[in-house]
Chain A
Amino acid sequence: MTLAPVDYVILSLYFAFVLGIGWIVKRKVTTSEDFLTSGRSVPVWITSLAFIAANLGAQEVIGMCASGAKYGIMTAHFYWLGAVPAMLFVGVFMMPFYYGSRARSVPEYLKLRFDEKTRALNACTFAVMTVFSSGISMYALGLLFQLVLGWSFTASVLLSAAIVLIYTFLGGLTSAIYNEVLQFFLIVLGFAPLAIMSMLKAGGWSGMAARLPPVMTHAWSYLKEPSQNPMGVEVFGLVAGLGFVLSFGYWCTDFLVVQRAMAADSMSSARRTPLIAAFPKMIMPFIVIVPGVAALALSKMALGYALPLKPDGGPDYDQAMTTLMAQFYPSGMLGLGLTALMASFMSGMAGNVTAFNTVWTYDLYQGYIRKSAPDSHYLWVGRITTVVGVGLSVGTAYLASHFNNIMDFLQLVFGFVNAPLFATFLLGMFWKRATGHGAFTGLLAGTFAAAATHGLTLAENKGGWLGSVVHTFPSTMAQNFWIAIFAWSTCMAVTIVVSLLSAAKPEGELHNLVYGLTDIPHDAHLPWYKRPLPLAAVVIVALVVLNILFW
């Protein structure tokens, strides 16, 4: 794939706008809260779009398209079964506690609700995890651009990192959020034409269905047995593992996304952020997954299009998106498509960097290193942390390019740490008897349960390192879902038992932190589209319709 001058013009224009937004926002930043939490002043339509864009990294876009080609429309479960219900839950049920507690971060909420050690555990793992995941996605981007465009790995990594660094350094979270909205529109407008054209070329949905095995175009019909579908999962593992534990764990507790809602200008806006975001999120499968399914259908037609092969001879699904672009986009749109890819990468990275900043500055630095300093000091620390965070991400990207196994191992460990989180938050928010000792031991026990499940089971030759294998899963996907289920259940049980054995936190200290001791805002006088519950109801109806259409 070669780029024409017009493609570079579009890419440069985008960079200019991104930096310009950072420059304009900079004037508003005078305190550390402006820089790290946007001073809770962002309108709801902006926080909503940023809420999805921060998660919509390049790995997500490329990976979802790849999964579309590999697993078919079942991939949409990550959205319709996973993300969207979890987003409804965090908006309707959890945001009153996050926003109402006045905590500046998710770990800070844990400190207010439980205790110092639970916060420290969450803050440390989260800080390390964000740096690594932004490094890993930077590595993926550098590799892709090297493969597709022949750009130097170092040049694309450093250029994209430098631009993210400049605009987050200038305007902090506000700048990241504002840019995420631009990035969101760019991703949609840059990829939607590809989805439409590739699908039309493959004969529309019916044409695709005729050319592919039926499992590729049905989301629910082939889930009775793991052997029926290429994901190797059955309905309980999928619903409980992905739909409940993993998705709720991510969308309801990950500070990267929750931070966007916490930046909203009022409690009502904060609650509506994930709910409004759910509408575009529901549509995203048509933009990122359908092209993957279409790519597979196109490769079965006599068009001369085929998925590129990997060195081991299997199809390289990760290249589905870029090879489609090469087939359907002429110079001009091609530039815009690559700019959209770059934008998705930057939104993901800026999301990680701004979340890392806040957790490091408020939870770790202010919490444990220097407790009381003037605010200007923390603003300065926040800015320096931006530089350090980006630097560490670049370092991780290079580490990943040399030691791929270390990265796989770390991602595995992070998975163990994340799996039980949702149980802790669920109990923390809805059971006032849950205690700090309970939460902390529950989290540790859940992490060990996750590791033990992995060590005692086998899937595609992964796991089983504890010596004996008690169960073999049909796929690593199924293994991951079940690891999550065991981790969550263990964390839930241990937290309840230890909480009952330890002294309860006095009710006076739990105001605005727990259900029953928090004023839920009355909103009956507002029109329906400004109230969380009716909005959530509309989303649920649309979700049911989508699932039935693609049953």
Chain B
Amino acid sequence: MRDLRIPIGSFFTLVGVILAVTGVVTGNRAPLETVNVNLYCGFSMLVFGGIMLWLSRRSS
């Protein structure tokens, strides 16, 4: 494999998008939490995935 950061980055970018969209569409439904967990977590994972992909691009 050329660079492991590509699959890891892609996975978290995809999951981040799915979670953020779920967060926007459904709002929050967790019993003990008031913030929109999916939106925040999804956004963080999107950022993490993006950094991974960017690092991989930069080094190639």
Binding site for B on A (CB under 8 A): 6, 9-10, 13-14, 17, 20-21, 24-25, 28, 46, 178, 181-182, 185, 189, 193, 197, 201, 298, 303, 305, 326-333, 336
Known: A6-B18, A197-B37. A305 touches B8 (CB 8 A): no
- Asked if B4 and A330 sit within 8 Å, CB to CB, the answer is no
Chain B, residues 13-45, CB within 8 Å of chain A (1/0): the string is: 011001100110010111111000110111011
From known contacts A10-B18, A13-B14, A185-B12, infer whether A197 and B33 are also in contact, taking CB-CB under 8 Å. Answer: yes
Are B8 and A182 in touch, CB under 8 angstroms?
yes
- Which residues of B have CB within 8 Å of A189? 12, 41, 44-45, 48
CB-nearest residue of chain A relative to B30?
A330
Smallest Cβ-Cβ distance to B14: which chain A residue: A13
Contact check, B32 vs A201: say whether CB atoms are below 8 A apart.
Answer: yes
A329: which B residues are within 8 A, CB to CB?
A: 30, 37
Indicate whether B54 reaches chain A with its CB closer than 8 angstroms: no
User: Number of contact residues on B: which range applies?
Assistant: 20 to 34
B38-A328 in contact (CB<8A):
no
> In the bound complex, do residue B1 and residue A21 qualify as a contact, i.e. CB atoms below 8 Å apart?
yes
Q: Identify 22 residue pairs between A and B in the complex whose beta-carbon atoms are under 8 Å apart, listed by A's number.
A: A10-B19, A21-B7, A24-B1, A181-B4, A182-B7, A189-B44, A189-B48, A193-B37, A193-B41, A197-B32, A327-B30, A327-B32, A328-B30, A328-B32, A328-B33, A330-B30, A330-B38, A331-B22, A332-B22, A333-B19, A333-B38, A336-B19
Nearest CB of chain A from residue B42's CB, rounded to whole Å: 8
Cβ-closest chain B residue relative to A21: B7
Query: Given A303-B32, A327-B30, A331-B26, is A46 in contact with B4 using a C-beta cutoff of 8 Å?
Result: yes
* Contact partners of A13 in chain B: CB under 8 A: 11, 14-15, 18
The answer to whether A17 touches B11 (Cβ under 8 A) is: yes
A10 touches B8 (CB 8 A): no
Flag if A178 contacts B4 (CB, 8 Å): yes
Q: Which residue of A lies closest to B29 (CB)?
A: A330
Q: Is the interface of B mostly helix, strand, loop or mixed?
A: helix
Docked Cα-Cα span, A14 to B30, in Å, equals 23
Verify A336–B30 contact, CB threshold 8 A.
Answer: no
> Which interface residue of A24, A197, A330 has the most chain B CB atoms within 10 A?
A330
- Further 12 A-B residue pairs, CB within 8 A, beyond A28-B1, A193-B37, A193-B41: A13-B14, A185-B12, A189-B48, A193-B40, A201-B33, A326-B31, A328-B30, A330-B33, A332-B19, A333-B41, A336-B19, A336-B41
Question: What are the interface flags for B39-58 relative to A under an 8 Å C-beta threshold, 1 for contact and 0 otherwise?
Answer: 01110110010000000000
In the bound assembly, the distance between CA atoms of A56 and B42 in angstroms comes to 24
Residues B18 and A332 in contact, CB atoms below 8 Å apart: yes
List A contacts of B10 (CB < 8 A).
17
Which residue of chain B is the closest to A174 with respect to CB atoms?
B1
State the Cβ distance, B18 to closest chain A Cβ, in Å.
6
The reply to whether B32 and A14 contact each other, CB–CB distance below 8 Å, is: no
A298, B37: Cα distance in complex, Å: 19
Min Cβ gap B16→A in Å is 10
Q: Which residues of B sit under 8 angstroms from A303, Cβ to Cβ? A: 32
Q: Please indicate the chain A residues that have their CB under 8 angstroms from the CB of B38 in the complex.
A: 330, 332-333
Contacts of A197 in B (CB 8 A): 32-33, 37
Distance in Å: Cβ of B50 to nearest Cβ of chain A: 14
Contact across chains for B7 and A20 when beta carbons are under 8 A apart: yes
Bound complex: CA A330 to CA B38 (Å): 7
